[in-house]
Amino acid sequence: MDIRDGKGTRRGWRHAAALAVALLAASLAGAPVRAAAPGDDAPHVPDTLQQRIAACTACHGPHGEGTPDFFPRLAGKPAGYLARQLGYFQAGLRKYAPMEYMVRQLSPAYMREIAAYFAAQQVPYRRSPVPALPTAVLQRGEQLATAGDPARRLPACQGCHGRTLTGVEPDIPGLLGLPYDYLSSQLGSWRTGTRAAAAPDCMATIANRLTPADITAVSAWLASREVPDDAHALPAGSVQPPLACGVLGGGAAAGQGAAP
């Protein structure tokens, strides 16, 4: 089984992200840009959103397209979901030191602006490597994604993320086009408490009902799927909550929920 623990055990991308933070966090925080004075040889740095989010694009790609190995795609995800995740990093509900550092000083309005930018990006999806697994494992992953496991009180992924698994506006992200390592690490993070959402945290409930073998299976099956030509999130109201979940309107913290 290959479940990441959500604590940054992959040294390569952890070091790369830390370097990006050290070099670029000031620009993300909206630090004033010094205009070049007459005779000043310093290069002019444009004060644009694209320049200020360089800390994001250093890891997630120029348009938020993600990387095949780990960093998730941001492009085209619902803006409500992206803004909420930035808020979760700021509040400590999601644990990943580079992200927590970068968002520490951001205002809610600025986080919504960043989220809207990436939500509007339309770029091709990349295929990610998937571990070689027996057919029976992938069949188990398909079952979990499309039908769930009623005997274990596990709803299908499609029950929340939509029949196309491309997400639902305004708050539920798509699951297709994400790397296997990222998917398995996030499910592992909910199990270990290094990722959480405001109550009722339905994803924590689901992740703790999954076995390690289930997490491997569903992550591999999702990562192996072709992304449909129309990968937009489905319209709001396209799903009915299969269990109490903040993002789906269940509980006192409606609109504060979860998903990978």
pLDDT for residue 60 is more than 90: yes
Q: In this structure, is residue 237 part of a structural domain?
A: yes
Question: In whole angstroms, what is the distance from residue 60 CA to residue 23 CA?
Answer: 15
| Burial of residue 143 (number of CB atoms within 10 Å: 0-12, 13-18, 19+) | middle
Q: Which residue has the tokens 């989010």?
A: 53
**Model confidence over 174-203: pLDDT tens digits?**
999 999 999 999 999 999 999 998 889 999
pLDDT for residue 66 is more than 80: yes
Query: Residue 79 in contact with residue 85, Cβ under 8 Å?
Result: no
Please tell me whether residues 57 and 145 are part of one structural domain: no
Q: What's the distance, Cα to Cα, between the start and end of the chain in Å?
A: 19
Please tell me whether residues 141 and 111 are part of one structural domain: no
CA distances from 257 to 8, 39, 104, 209, 249 (A): 23, 53, 21, 18, 8
**Model confidence over 98-124: pLDDT tens digits?**
999 999 999 999 999 999 999 999 999
What was the pLDDT predicted at 182?
95
Q: In this structure, is residue 77 part of a structural domain?
A: yes
Question: In whole angstroms, what is the distance from residue 89 CA to residue 106 CA?
Answer: 11
Q: In this structure, is residue 88 part of a structural domain?
A: yes
Q: In this structure, is residue 210 part of a structural domain?
A: yes
**Model confidence over 139-167: pLDDT tens digits?**
999 999 999 999 999 999 999 999 999 99
DSSP 194-229: SB--SSS-HHHHHHHHS-HHHHHHHHHHHHHSPPPS
Structure tokens at 152: 């274990």
Question: In whole angstroms, what is the distance from residue 141 CA to residue 229 CA?
Answer: 22
| pLDDT more than 70, % of the chain | 77
- The residue segments making up the domain with residue 197 are 135-248
The lowest-confidence range among 11-15, 71-75, 189-193, 234-238 is: 11-15
Instruction: Write down which residue in 59, 93, 119 finishes a domain.
Output: 119
pLDDT for residue 48 is more than 90: no
Question: In whole angstroms, what is the distance from residue 53 CA to residue 182 CA?
Answer: 22
Kindly indicate the confidence band of residue 27, based on its pLDDT and cuts at 50, 70 and 90: very low
| pLDDT more than 90, % of the chain | 67
What does residue 223 show for φ and ψ, rounded to 5 degrees?
A: -70, -20
Question: In whole angstroms, what is the distance from residue 5 CA to residue 17 CA?
Answer: 17
pLDDT for residue 11 is more than 50: no
DSSP, res 75: T
What was the pLDDT predicted at 258?
37
Instruction: Write down which residue in 69, 92, 119 finishes a domain.
Output: 119
Beta strands in the chain (DSSP E): 167-168, 172-173
Please tell me whether residues 155 and 221 are part of one structural domain: yes
pLDDT for residue 15 is more than 50: no
What was the pLDDT predicted at 6?
43
Please tell me whether residues 145 and 210 are part of one structural domain: yes
DSSP 133-188: --HHHHHHHHHHHHT-BGGGTB--THHHH-TTSSEETTTEE--TT--HHHHHHHHH
Please tell me whether residues 106 and 140 are part of one structural domain: no
Structure tokens at 186: 């996030």
As a dihedral over the C-alpha atoms of residue 17, residue 70, residue 127, residue 49, rounded to 10 degrees, the angle is -40
What was the pLDDT predicted at 39?
56
Please tell me whether residues 107 and 155 are part of one structural domain: no
Query: Residue 55 in contact with residue 16, Cβ under 8 Å?
Result: no
What was the pLDDT predicted at 198?
80
Domain count, the chain: 2
Please tell me whether residues 149 and 239 are part of one structural domain: yes
pLDDT for residue 89 is more than 90: yes
Q: In this structure, is residue 127 part of a structural domain?
A: no
What was the pLDDT predicted at 50?
83
pLDDT for residue 217 is more than 60: yes
The domain that holds 93 is classified in CATH as 1.10.760.10
Kindly indicate the confidence band of residue 32, based on its pLDDT and cuts at 50, 70 and 90: very low
